[in-house]
Chain A
Amino acid sequence: AQTVTQSQPEMSVQEAETVTLSCTYDTSESDYYLFWYKQPPSRQMILVIRQEAYKQQNATENRFSVNFQKAAKSFSLKISDSQLGDAAMYFCAYRSAPQGGSEKLVFGKGTKLTVNP
C-alpha cells in the first residue's frame, strides 16, 4: 500500500518570503500522480498543483512550484512571495495512474502554514 509522509506539522513564513513544504511517499508503482491540496480555514479543499510521475520537468503554477525527485520519492512544494491568503493546511496526495481505475487519493497528515505580516 502507498503511504505519504509530511514531516512538518507546522511551518511559518514571513509575508513576501519563500517557504518549502516537504513530502515523501512510498510506492512500488512506476506511474502515478502527485498533488498538493490547500485547505484554508473555510475548509474547502483546493488543488494547488499536480505532477505526473513520468514527467521529469517540475510543475509550476504561478508562485507555486514543486521539486519532484522520483528516485528519492520526494515531492516538495515551494511557495514564493508568500501572501497572507496562503495561510492554510497543505496536504500532499498520491494517486495511482492507471486509466479507468480507482481515483483514490492517499493523503499525508498535512502541514499547517502560517504567514506572518
Chain B
Amino acid sequence: KAGVTQTPRYLIKTRGQQVTLSCSPISGHRSVSWYQQTPGQGLQFLFEYFSETQRNKGNFPGRFSGRQFSNSRSEMNVSTLELGDSALYLCACRVSGLYNEQFFGPGTRLTVL
C-alpha cells in the first residue's frame, strides 16, 4: 500500500522567513495530524484536519497554521521563523479500523539559521 509522503525532506531557512511543508496521506484517508519533534520538547501535537476542517489544535503560537485540501493533502505553514522552530515535522494519517491507528510519514527536517 502507498505510504504517507512528506515534502520536502530537508529544508534550511533563515530567521524571519516563512516555510510551507506538505503532507500527502495514504490514498483515501481524510484525517491528517501534524507533530513537531525536538530534542528538548519531544513530540508535540500541532493540529489535526479532517475533511478540510481543523478538528483540534495544539498549544502553538499563531505563526503555525495549516490547511487541508479536498484531495486530503495537507500543508502547514510557519511564518516569521525563529531559531526554536528548528525541528523534525511529522505528519500522520489515520487508518480506519478498530484502533484508528495513525501512520507517520518520514518527516521534514527544518533548520532555521
Chain A residues near B (Cβ < 8 Å): 33, 35, 37, 42-47, 50, 52, 91, 99, 102-110
Which stretch, B13-21, B74-82, B94-102, touches the partner chain A?
B94-102
Additional 19 contacts, C-beta under 8 A, given A44-B106, A45-B92? A42-B106, A43-B88, A43-B107, A44-B105, A44-B107, A45-B90, A46-B104, A50-B101, A102-B48, A103-B48, A103-B100, A103-B102, A104-B56, A105-B35, A105-B45, A106-B45, A107-B43, A107-B44, A110-B42
For chain B, the count of residues having a C-beta within 8 Å of the partner chain is 25
Kindly list chain B residues whose C-beta atoms are within 8 Å of the C-beta of A103: 31, 33, 48, 56, 92, 94, 100, 102
Does A104 contact B107, Cβ atoms closer than 8 Å? no
B63 contacts the other chain (Cβ, under 8 Å)? no
Q: Do A50 and B42 touch (CB < 8 A)?
A: no
Bound state CA distance, A42 and B105, in angstroms? Answer: 11
Q: State the main secondary structure of chain A at its contact with B.
A: loop
* Interface pairs (19), CB distance under 8 Å: A33-B99, A35-B101, A42-B106, A44-B105, A44-B106, A45-B92, A47-B102, A91-B43, A103-B33, A103-B100, A104-B58, A105-B33, A105-B35, A105-B102, A106-B45, A107-B35, A107-B42, A107-B44, A108-B42
The 3 tightest CB contacts between A and B, nearest first, are A45-B104, A107-B43, A102-B56
